[in-house]
Amino acid sequence: MNEYYVYEHWRPDTGVCFYVGKGKGKRAWDMKHMRNRHHMAIVSKLTSVGLLVDVKIIASGMSSEDALKLEIERISFYGVDSLSNMTGGGDGLSSPTQETRLKISASQKKRFENPEEKEKMIARLKGRIPWNKGLKTKGTKHSDAAKEKIRIAAKKRGIPEKVRAAQKAAVTGRKRAPFSAETIRKMSEAAKAREARKRQERAA
């Protein structure tokens, strides 16, 4: 059944795409289930200042295989290093045929032969801040406007000012102890399990 689509998640604060995916139903609007830590960190940062992810459906009414092919193409277009995707896409496309690989390659070559497409890509990348740099918050001082947005967002989430004050007082001046080897091992296993579930969902 042609019930799949390819979608992109864009940051409204910087106007750039940070994730490309394939799904069906409400998958594109689900920001919590089966998302990797990089994606969740970006969503959390946007939520903290009262912003929502801009969801764009690139193509719909597709078969699972065709959607996976387009997902690979879009991730290649942006560059996996510029996205929060953990792979180059197509995880559910097991052992693509040589014909499929050639089609994807030809599509990319044709795209970048077009001067207009090149200009669009340059415009998208201009001024882009890599996600891992954009998420650094240690030592960052928020502006008064940003603080107000955070305060309003917290109110919408229903967190009382007294609770926020108590939370702030509890962590002020506190330094987190280094993770033990056992904790690091458990975190690694949990991350691998999440990625395995993600691959299974894409293959579904």
Residue with tokens 């502006």: 143
- Asked if residue 153 is part of any domain, the answer here is no
Residue 18 belongs to what H/E stretch?
Answer: strand 16-23
Q: How far apart are CA 128 and CA 176, in angstroms?
A: 32
Confidence of residue 21 (pLDDT cuts 50, 70, 90): very high
What domain range is 197 assigned to?
4-140+173-203
- Asked if residue 87 is part of any domain, the answer here is yes
Considering only residues 86 and 151, tell me which one the structure prediction assigns the higher pLDDT. Answer: 86
Identify the sign of the CA torsion 45, 125, 7, 92.
Answer: negative
Is pLDDT at 137 greater than 60 in this prediction?
no
Secondary structure percentages of the chain, helix, strand, coil, to 5: 55, 10, 35
Number of compact structural domains in the chain: 1
- Asked if residue 147 is part of any domain, the answer here is no
**What's the burial of 61, exposed, middle or buried (CB within 10 Å: 0-12/13-18/19+)?**
exposed
